[in-house]
Amino acid sequence: MLRRELLRDKPRHRRTLEARGREGRVGTPLPAAGVAALRWPEWGPTVCVEVAEVAVDSDGAVRVPRVVCAVDCGQAVNTGQVEAQMQGGIVFGLSAALYGEITIDKGRVVQGNFDTYPVVRMPEAPAVEVYIVPSSDPQGGAGEPGVPPIAPAVCNAIFAATGKRIRKLPIGRVVV
C-alpha cells in the first residue's frame, strides 16, 4: 500500500508494480521476499520491477529459488527476446550480488577465469518469471534493466527472512 501511494504520480511505475503484484502473489504472505524497482533514464522510459524470494540456510548460505519480473518497455516487438534479456540480466546481476568479487593474493588476481570466478550456474539459478506489461507508452530499452533491481530485491528479501540488513556486496554468507 505504501509503495502504491508513493507512486501515485508515476502511472507507469505503478502499473508495472501492480502487474508484478497480480503475477507475483502480492497480498499473499511471503516470509522471505523483497521488491525493487528501476527506471533509469539511460534506458529510456523502461520500468522494471522484481520480487525475489530467498532462503537463508542455518549456515548463512543464501539461495534464491524464484524471481518474478514485470517490465514495461513500451510496445514489445519481440516478446521472446525481452523475456530472454530480463532472465539473463537477472542471473547476471544475481551472480554479481552473491559472488562478484575480485580478490588479490600476493599482488595477483586470484580469479583468472570463470573456473575460479563464481557465477550463478544452472543448478542454483532461480526460476525466473517475466511478465511484459502491455503498454502503448514510449519504447525503452530491454537489454540492461533486468540487472540493477535484483541485488536490492535479494537484500530486501534477506532482511524479511532474517532481520539483517545487507550493507556490502557481494552478499556471501549471512550471519544469522
Kindly give the confidence (pLDDT) of every residue in the chain, 176 residues in length, as a single tens digit, with 9 standing for 90 and above: 666 777 778 777 777 777 765 555 544 555 568 888 888 776 678 999 999 999 999 999 999 999 999 999 999 999 999 999 999 999 999 999 999 988 999 999 998 888 888 899 999 999 999 999 999 988 888 889 999 999 999 999 999 999 999 999 999 888 76
Domains and CATH numbers, the chain: 2-162 (3.30.365.10)
* Residue corresponding to grid cell 557465477: 119
Do 171 and 156 contact (CB within 8 A), yes or no? no
CA-wise closest residue to 132 among 53, 54, 75: 75
